[in-house]
Structure formats: C-alpha cells, structure tokens
Amino acid sequence: MTSTSPTLREQSERLLHRLAESGARLTPTRAAVLRALTSRSDGFTVEELCGDVRPVGRATVFRTVRLLLQKGLVCKLAMGDATPRYALSRSGHHHHAVCVRCGAVDDFRGCDLDDLVQRVAAAAESEVLGHRLEVYVVCAQCRRNDASGSAPSTHHAKHQKFRAIE
C-alpha cells in the first residue's frame, strides 16, 4: 500500500471536498477512512473497513460511513440476512447487483422500474415514497473461478462468502 494509484487518490480527495463543502471538517482520520473506502472497489462491510484503517476507532468509522450515507456518497446494501454491505454511490438514483461470492457491486439504472412502481402505486391508490431493488448474482469473475477448479486466484473473496437471498 505504499504507492496508491492516482485515480484512487483523486477519488478520495474529491469525496473529502464534497464533505468539506457541506460543513464537515477535514481531518486526517476522515481522509484515512475515505482512502480505505475508495481503495475497495467492492461492497464492503464496516468491519472490513475498520480493519483497513486501524487504529481508527470503530465508532468513528461507523460515524463516517453514516455521514457519507446521509450525503448520498455511499449507499447501503441490505443483503437479505447477511451482514449489510456499503458501496460508493457513483450517481443519483440507481440499483445494485451484488455478487454473493465476492461482494462485488455493480450499479445500474432501472428506468423501466419507475413505470412498474408507479403502476403498482396507482393500483393501490398509494403515494410512492421510494423503492429499493437488489439483484443477487455470481459475477463473471467468480463464475470463471468456479469453472476452473477451486483456485480463488487473484480475485478478491477474502475469507468467507456470505449466504444469500430471501
């Protein structure tokens, strides 16, 4: 972790400035959390993040994630009954395809979805406040790994896979 790729540097610095703009203070601790966060391309658990930024306190990591959540810079994946994961939020309204093997998160926009949602609401004479769609998948990388013997190879997929779905 001595030389960080410039793109990640930039990315975490952008986030830091987005926070600053909204009145939050620029602290080394926050910078560290943001760096850890951006260097994980996947969905991550807070506990994993804590591991990355030790010795930053657990409470602080949770607070930082909550802050980012409130600013809409990060979003939370419910993951059925498994440990909730978080992911950088690259855009406005979107949904997620999560790999249940490695935790990789793929964003997508569900334009058609809004139609469906509105129809459902109309049928029930209800007012829509929001919706959430999560798709659980095995990603291309993990499928390849599955196919070629049991080697977990260079792909992420730390210690434990998490059980799926509803």
- How many residues form the binding site for its own copies (CB under 8 A)? 40
Our CA angle for 10, 13, 15, nearest 5°, is 115
Q: Please choose, from the candidates 127, 56, 146, 80, the residue with its C-alpha nearest in 3D space to the C-alpha of residue 65.
A: 56
- How many residues form the binding site for DNA (CB under 7 A)? 25
For DNA, which residue of 38, 64, 89, 145 counts as binding (CB under 7 A)?
64
Residue 85 CB, shortest distance to DNA, in Å, is 9
Contact between 148 and its own copies per CB under 8 A: no
Provide the token pair at 121: 């609401």
43: exposed, middle or buried (Cβ count in 10 Å: 0-12, 13-18, 19+): buried
Q: Identify which of residues 58 and 94 has a Cβ nearer to its own copies in the complex.
A: 94
For DNA, which residue of 1, 25, 111, 166 counts as binding (CB under 7 A)?
25
Three-state DSSP at 63 gives: helix
DSSP category for residue 54: T
- x/- letters, 64..83, toward its own copies (CB under 8 A): -----------xx-x-xx--
Give the binding range for DNA (CB under 7 A) out of 27-35, 93-101, 114-122, 132-140: 27-35
Judged by CB under 8 A, the chain residues 99 through 128 that form the site for its own copies are 99-100, 106, 108, 110, 112-113, 115-117, 120-121, 123-128
Residue 4 CB, shortest distance to DNA, in Å, is 19
Cα separation, 142 vs 100, whole angstroms: 10
Q: Identify which of residues 61 and 100 has a Cβ nearer to its own copies in the complex.
A: 100
- Give the DSSP letter string of 20-36: HHTT----HHHHHHHHH
Give φ, ψ of 46 to 5 degrees: -65, -35
Contact between 156 and DNA per CB under 7 A: no
